[in-house]
Amino acid sequence: MIVIHSEEHRLQAGRSELNDGQLVPCYEKPARADIVRARIEAVGIGPIVNPTRHGIAPLERVHDAGYLDFLRTAWDEWVKEHGADIDALPLNWVAPGMSRRRVPRSIDGRLGFYSFDAGTPITAGTWRAATAAADNALTGADRLRAGDRSAFALCRPPGHHAGHAFYGGYCFLNNAAIAAQSLRDGGAARVAVLDVDYHHGNGTQEIFWERGDVLFVSIHADPADEFPYFCGHADETGAGAGDGANLNLTLPWGTDWSGYAQALAAAAARIRDFGADALVLSLGADTYGGDPISRFRLLSEDFLRMGSAIAGIGLPTLFVLEGGYAVDDLGVNVANVLTGFEQG
Ligand SMILES: NCCCCCC(=O)NO
Ligand SMILES: [Zn+2]
């Protein structure tokens, strides 16, 4: 299985995020990709290659042009107002009864306009890191199109919370959605995206909400209790041409493999029924019992079982790294999914 990785992930190294009322060191940090790459090399998954640059066009197939412009220029505008010693974080958002009809001129206003949390710092290197992550995913999609059975895009920053025109949850560009669209543009008639991250992939859901050619299935903690809170419920099934092409499988805090496996089997059945030509797998490993910000109870060996179950779906599969913050065990857990898949 080819692995696509760029050293430019290191350029996303936020100083702090707002979490539980305090500014704390970022959980989404460069060490995450380093430990995954080290484990991948140690177990002999590979080869590991650099991404091919794809430019802005594939990003515009998924994201709003004005939003991309904002992301590309936000840091420079921030520095003019606030200096370069503090990361760019929003301070207010659009509440019900307020208007989104106008994009503010102020950088502070635009940070709030385009985001949904204060946990996702924009830094000097964010644009380069985020576009490199998207290139990882696009290069993986190229490999599937060339006939590879699987590929792993070792992406940081992650992407599944990023929507058509918004960022948050440590995500700026939706790597998985960009890859799914690239597979569609490359001739796949139907593509499925399966999101196994602990958190609902609200960005991916929003991007494909009215699309019947891309099925989105997400297994995640119940949003009544868990970030991102405001979507991801089981009654959200898509709209228009996308009606029925969105499946949210919510699970309670404390879920272990026995509960998770049942949801994964239901997800696999739905994907088989859909008749996809390819699968994009949003691989978050924050379902791990040792994850510092999550509340499922999967064990490292369960990720082997997860990989095997994904192989059982029987589609060419592009794995795209999402979350997972138990850094010491992240490499083993992610590599276990890939090993389980290859042995599946
Ligand atoms: N700061 C709130 C929690 C952000 C969750 C990010 C994540 O892992 N999403 O999958
Ligand atoms: Zn997550």
- pLDDT for position 319: 99
Chain mean position to CA 134? 10
Per residue in 131-153, pLDDT tens? 999 999 999 999 999 999 999 99
Binding site membership of 27 for ligand 1 (Cβ less than 6 Å) = no
Q: Are 6 and 52 in contact (CB under 8 A)?
A: no
Binding site membership of 119 for ligand 1 (Cβ less than 6 Å) = yes
- pLDDT for position 214: 99
Per residue in 156-193, pLDDT tens? 999 999 999 999 999 999 999 999 999 999 999 999 99
d(Cα 55, Cα 53) in Å, to the nearest integer?
6
Binding site membership of 286 for ligand 1 (Cβ less than 6 Å) = yes
Mean per-residue pLDDT of the chain: 98
- For a mutational test of ligand 1's pocket, the pick from 293, 320, 322, 334, i.e. the residue with the most ligand atoms closer than 8 A to its C-beta, is 293
Per residue in 48-86, pLDDT tens? 999 999 999 999 999 999 999 999 999 999 999 999 999
Per residue in 201-244, pLDDT tens? 999 999 999 999 999 999 999 999 999 999 999 999 999 999 99
Residue nearest to atom 6 of ligand 1 (CA): 169
- The average pLDDT across 75-100 equals 97
Give the Å distance between the CA of 82 and the centre of ligand 2.
30
Binding site membership of 232 for ligand 1 (Cβ less than 6 Å) = no
Binding site membership of 135 for ligand 1 (Cβ less than 6 Å) = no
Per residue in 34-56, pLDDT tens? 999 999 999 999 999 999 999 99
pLDDT-derived band of residue 33, with 50, 70 and 90 as boundaries? very high
Give the Å distance between the CA of 273 and the centre of ligand 1.
30
Per residue in 296-317, pLDDT tens? 999 999 999 999 999 999 999 9
C-alpha distances (whole Å) from 277 to each of 98, 180, 213, 222, 271 are 42, 11, 11, 29, 10
Angle between helices 300-311 and 257-274 (to 10 degrees): 20
d(Cα 319, Cα 284) in Å, to the nearest integer?
10
The residue type of 326 is A
d(Cα 154, Cα 137) in Å, to the nearest integer?
8
Q: Which residues are catalytic?
A: 161
- pLDDT for position 291: 98
C-alpha distances (whole Å) from 286 to each of 142, 297, 327 are 27, 10, 10
Full-model pTM: 0.99
Kind of pairing between the strands at 17-19 and 246-251: unpaired
Give the Å distance between the CA of 275 and the centre of ligand 1.
31
Give the Å distance between the CA of 299 and the centre of ligand 2.
16
